[in-house]
A and B are shown apart, each in its own frame.
Chain A
Amino acid sequence: MMAETVTIAGHGGDRIAAYFARPLGPGPYPAVVVVHHMPGWDEATKGITLRFASRGYAAICPHLHYREGGGSSPDDAAAAVRARGGVPDERFLGDAAGAIDYLRSLPYCSGKVGAIGYCSGGRQVFLAACSLPLDAAVDCYGGFVAESPPEGMPLRMAPVIDRAADLRCPLLGLFGAEDSHPAPAETRRTAEILEQHRKAFEFHTFPGAGHGFFATDRPSYRVEAANQGWQRVFDWFGRHLASA
């Protein structure tokens, strides 16, 4: 496999950086867009991108904070985004669409493309799954999908559950029972609405895990939940991104 930083066309045709990893064979390979968490385009998320490549996927992680700090460290770029109230949803969707187009243009890509996101990226993946041509999606503990944000929060974090009727692909949700954003009550509410719309989805809530249980570089890491979660992820993508 190999990995490199590439440039892709994002929202509005903006050129943004993306971390890209793939197996070295001729393919065809399914592909995955990895949506980084709020702390930014960091080493941990690049490691997740590598993990997908090692399992036979072409994987790309667009730098969603590139415009604010493409030449800076990920934490400085994330802080600049935070100071401006976060990434606007429409800009994220444009960047994600650019990443999907990039993957589908590759001669060794099977054409099947999924997306996975963590933390704020989980909410963004839900949004992408309702708006973009994806074949499967995974939301890892994305908050404010169904829950209205507390008073005073930026409008950019508005809930996205009102788009549930437009969900275009099977959705896997992986959550922690001890998480407060999203709390189990919120994920149950999301599940109820998806059921009302007869959407294909599976939600799993892991006991003893809170927010960020996949993050191996943080104290929130929970090895049992993370290992089971990874099995769920690869099973999900294995089923829904397999070539016909």
Chain B
Amino acid sequence: MCSHAIEKTSVTGSGKGTKGWFSLSTACVCFDHPYFTPLERTLNIDFIDEASGPEARVAVELSPDSARALMRSIQLALEAG
């Protein structure tokens, strides 16, 4: 909704971007316009390292249904482990 309304959370881990692996600092989550996905709004997650500039980013844009399915999968995987 053109809002820049995001949920930010600190994360510990790594992501693989255009220049290889890097350490992550933050996950930014919003439900807003996508850049690439052909939907009006998507659940967007940017895994970033804010200290390393805008290209230190792993981005996903998910349909609402697939985002909910992903949440369930993450929960199940953590419980199974």
Contacts and interface: CB of A to CB of B under 8 A. Distances in A.
Interface in A151-187: 152-154, 156-157, 180-181
A68 B35 contact: no
A32 interface: no
B2 A79 contact: no
B4 A154 contact: yes
B59 A75 contact: yes
Contact of B2 (A73, A76, A181, A218): A181
Nearest to B34: A39
Interface in A67-118: 68-69, 72-73, 75-83, 85-86
A143 interface: yes
A212 interface: yes
Nearest to B48: A83
Contact of B46 (A38, A77, A79, A120): A79
A39 B3 contact: no
A85 B38 CA distance: 24
A143 B5 CA distance: 13
Contact of B38 (A142, A144, A219): A219
A152 B8 CA distance: 12
Interface residues of B, number: 26
B57 A76 contact: yes
A79 B57 contact: yes
Contacts of B2: 37-38, 119-120, 123, 142-144, 157, 181, 211
Contacts of B38: 218-219
Given A69-B54, A212-B40, A219-B39, A180 B46 contact: no
13 contacts: A73-B55, A79-B28, A82-B32, A83-B6, A83-B26, A83-B28, A83-B48, A143-B3, A150-B3, A153-B4, A154-B4, A181-B3, A220-B40
